[in-house]
Structure 1
Amino acid sequence: MLAPAIPQRSACHRPLPRDIPGRHSSFFPRLFMLKNAFLTLLALAIAIGGGGGSVWYALKTQGGIGAIRIGPWTAFPDIGTRAADPYSKARVAREGILALGQAEGLSFIAERDSGGEQLKRQCAYEIEGGFPAARFWTLYAADQSLGVVKAGKPRLAALQSHQVLRQPDNSVVISVSNRPTPGNWLLSGGFGRMYFVLTFYDTPIASSTGLSDITLPQILKVGCNA
């Protein structure tokens, strides 16, 4: 009587992964390490991105650390002093601002009108009201780089205190538009965002005590081109 044949294992047969001794014991620790590494990288990315975003916002917006707001106008009294915070110093370096010391003067920047709407080059405005005591002040319309707006006309988009006409109460009314207007006219033109930069030289308001009780002119929107 013949013995039953014993099945032969194919040469191409390989043990399945579950047949490999110790596979589970090494796989799960690796998976755990990869998960921890991924979570660490994700946390770093969020921290760096969030920190960079907050710095960008602090530098981009006119408000922020060390800012003084008076109506639509914003100033950084410490920007030219040793007391300037790191964000103010970074703003000076990034935008190339000429920082004035407290004994020299103070600059105010407006990016919105008195109604809270963003200033636009295609709109006309009136800047009206009293100006604080100063030996000299300048006002100009600026683009996003805070350079003087280039309106494509020979007239500069700027005014200074020695050339403006004053009202009987010593207040000033300035018309801002791309078309000449009677009285004090500040040229503007083009499209996009606009800023007003108002700088006082040799003025008592440059000290912190001088800022507590001053008023600055309003910025009123007259209309916009379609």
Structure 2
Amino acid sequence: MLKNALLTLLAVAIAVGLGGGSVWYALHAQSGVGAIRIGPWTAFPDIGTPNADPYSQARIAREGVLALGRAEGLAFVAESDSAGRKLRRECAYTIAGAFPTARFWTLYAADQSLDVIATGKARPAALHSYEVLRQTDNSASISVSSRPAPGNWLLVNGAGTLYFVLTFYDTPIANSTGLSDVTLPGIVKGRCDA
């Protein structure tokens, strides 16, 4: 009798532990159901629509964010560089390439909760399309580091995990089905302080 009770308790503990762990992973992973990947960038195009999968809906509810509908825009998140290495605040990066057509876009450095990283300085860890210097072919190169750089510079300091969030507003890519034809800028790792 005691043996059956202990085995039942063990089975319930394993089921709750594995079930809770899989839900935690699904809500924190930048991949999975409904995700599209373009280079190092991941987006969930249906996240702000009635067609959003249950995991996307749970992610919105947990984070308390206002998700963009398809007609409003699309947010891409990068957690690794173009070579697949995890992004770290101690390292310098160059985000370079063409940006898709959009009325307005923003790029910011984020922590694990995808909030803008506090820099402790007057300069935020964010840029937008109206302040970025562009090449003649409409591409841009953005330096990301703790040390000032000429041209487009995004300040990131501290240590730990880093994410980049690139959001396009009022863009044709948000409501198109051909997202695989879109190219986004690459992320190249530079030197690291630690």
Q: What TM-score does the superposition give when structure 2 sets the normalisation length?
A: 0.96
- Note the residue ranges of structure 2 that are not aligned, 5 or more in a row: none
How many residues are aligned here?
194
Which residue identity is paired with 1:142?
A: A
Q: Which residue of 2 aligns with 1:84?
A: 52
Contact 2:100 2:183 (8 Å CA) reproduced: yes
Residues 47-196 of structure 1 correspond to what in structure 2 (within 5 A)?
47-196=15-164
Deviations 1:114-160 (A, max 9, x none): 11111111111000011111111000011112111111110111111
Q: RCO (CA 8 Å, sep 6+): is it higher in 1 or 2?
A: 2
CA distance in 2, matches of 1:194, 1:98: 22
Deviations 1:49-96 (A, max 9, x none): 111111011111111111111111010111101111111111112222
SS in 2 for 1:163: coil
Larger radius of gyration: 1
Q: Larger strand proportion, structure 1 or 2? A: 2
Contact 2:30 2:42 (8 Å CA) reproduced: yes
1:41 deviation in Å?
1.7
Q: Larger helix proportion, structure 1 or 2? A: 1
SS in 2 for 1:74: strand
The 10-residue stretch of structure 1 (34-43 or 173-182) with the greater mean CA deviation from structure 2: 34-43
1:46 deviation in Å?
1.2
Structure 2 counterpart of 1:46, from 6, 14, 20: 14
CA distance in 1, matches of 2:40, 2:58: 23
Q: What TM-score does the superposition give when structure 1 sets the normalisation length?
A: 0.83
- Note the residue ranges of structure 1 that are not aligned, 5 or more in a row: 1-32
CA distance in 2, matches of 1:118, 1:98: 27
- How much is the aligned-residue C-alpha RMSD, in angstroms? 1.1
